[in-house]
Structure 1
Amino acid sequence: MSETVSNYDDEASRPWYRQPWLWFLLLFPGASITYCAVAITLALNTHPSMVVDDYSKEGRGINQSIAREALAAELGLEARIVQNNRNLEVTLDSTGGSAGVAPEYLLLQLFHPTIGGRDRVIQLSAVSPGVYRGQIAGNIDGRWYFDLSGPTKDWRIKGEGRFPADSDIVVRPTNAASG
């Protein structure tokens, strides 16, 4: 019986920082405080790229966007996108018989679905009638939204696709009447 009492006295006589239950009980509040500090730091130092500051201006631009897509549909434009290593080749066809759609260059905007910092604009130069080429800077593997327009930006073709693609990516304007 005296051994049991001496073990208890020995445990009780240890300093507070040597008590195992103290550290066990402090573990959960300490982890909670650490997690909150990290969460607050991340919230203050990162900014949400998917949020638009001036949403009313974005809303007013919808009518202009619809008109641009309607003109592309009226002209019967269709784009065929092919990736060859670091090069993109776009073939622009006009089934509407409009010979006036032959700009010097095209602008292809690539929008990443979730990471705004990966968005990019590629200028495609004409190499022959209806065929345009441009260089890709960086890696574009994965899913992308496309926005193809001419230099005057009076028409626009929107679509989506995945790189690298097994076959050509065909992008057509949406029918503005059904949209």
Structure 2
Amino acid sequence: MSETARFEDHEASRPWFRQPWFWFLVLFPAASITYCIVAITLSMTTHTSMVVDDYSKEGLAINQSLARDAKAAELGLEARIQQTGRNLEVTLASSDEGTGVAPEYLILQLFHPTMGEQDRIIQLSPTGEGHYRGQIAGNIDGRWYLDVSGPSSDWRIKGEGHFPADSAIVMRPNDPERG
């Protein structure tokens, strides 16, 4: 018996689980099934806060938001936000001195770009003419979307900032009329 025939006979006598072609053919479908099980489990157990259930109400609320932005632009408002330790100081200024915009307090909303559970609302108390101060609970390091409004919510100033900030974050209203 030749050497090749003996080798082929030995290969054929090995059990099925010792055959390399069997594992080569089973590996890819098994990996695919495992990946699908993991993906389905993650999609069912992970909450996605970026998805809005009632998108029609969200769409209607956009018009109200644009009106609030236009009101802030009409009043010529500007907000300067400065962080000092756990304190946030906001200076609200108006280019129209005759408007008399001096709310009894301000509402600062901090929106995290990706994790909605970290969003915060801070009420800022007045400390002087156009100056407001509030305390931060927890860590706010990183990038945030900012929204400053008065107690009546008839105007708002939106912006974006990174904390901790070395200098003041200046926010001016987006005027939807000017684009």
Report the TM-score, using the length of structure 1 for normalisation: 0.87
Return the alpha-carbon distance in structure 1 between the equivalents of residues 147 and 59 of structure 2.
18
Return the alpha-carbon distance in structure 2 between the equivalents of residues 98 and 35 of structure 1.
64
Which one-letter code corresponds to 1:173 in the other structure?
Answer: P
Which one-letter code corresponds to 1:130 in the other structure?
Answer: G
Return the alpha-carbon distance in structure 2 between the equivalents of residues 110 and 19 of structure 1.
60
Where does residue 118 of structure 2 map in the other structure? 118
* Aligned residue runs from structure 1 range 96-115, under 5 A: 96-98=96-98, 100-115=100-115
**Contact 2:75–2:99, Cα closer than 8 Å, also in 1:** no
Return the alpha-carbon distance in structure 2 between the equivalents of residues 124 and 20 of structure 1.
70
Where does residue 73 of structure 2 map in the other structure? 73
Per-residue Cα deviation, 1:46-103 (whole angstroms, up to 9, x for no partner): 2432222222212222232222222222222111011123221111112211464222
* Aligned residue runs from structure 1 range 19-98, under 5 A: 19-98=19-98
> Which consecutive unaligned segments of at least 5 residues does structure 1 have?
none
Identical positions, percent: 72
Displacement, 1:9? 2.6
Return the alpha-carbon distance in structure 2 between the equivalents of residues 31 and 135 of structure 1.
51
Return the alpha-carbon distance in structure 1 between the equivalents of residues 4 and 61 of structure 2.
82
Supply the RMSD in Å over aligned alpha carbons: 2.0
**Greater shift in the superposed pair: 4-13 or 126-135:** 4-13
Per-residue Cα deviation, 1:20-68 (whole angstroms, up to 9, x for no partner): 3212221111101111111112222224322222222122222322222
**Contact 2:106–2:148, Cα closer than 8 Å, also in 1:** yes
**Contact 1:81–1:169, Cα closer than 8 Å, also in 2:** yes
Displacement, 1:3? 4.1
Which one-letter code corresponds to 1:79 in the other structure?
Answer: A
Displacement, 1:148? 0.5
Q: Detail structure 1 runs of 4+ shifted over 6 Å in the superposition.
A: none
Where does residue 136 of structure 1 map in the other structure? 136
> Which consecutive unaligned segments of at least 5 residues does structure 2 have?
none
Give the total of aligned pairs: 179
**Greater shift in the superposed pair: 97-106 or 130-139:** 97-106
Where does residue 10 of structure 1 map in the other structure? 10
Per-residue Cα deviation, 1:110-131 (whole angstroms, up to 9, x for no partner): 1222332332212222222221
Report the TM-score, using the length of structure 2 for normalisation: 0.87
Displacement, 1:160? 1.5
Which one-letter code corresponds to 2:96 in the other structure?
Answer: G
**Contact 1:106–1:148, Cα closer than 8 Å, also in 2:** yes
**Contact 1:75–1:97, Cα closer than 8 Å, also in 2:** no
Which one-letter code corresponds to 2:35 in the other structure?
Answer: Y
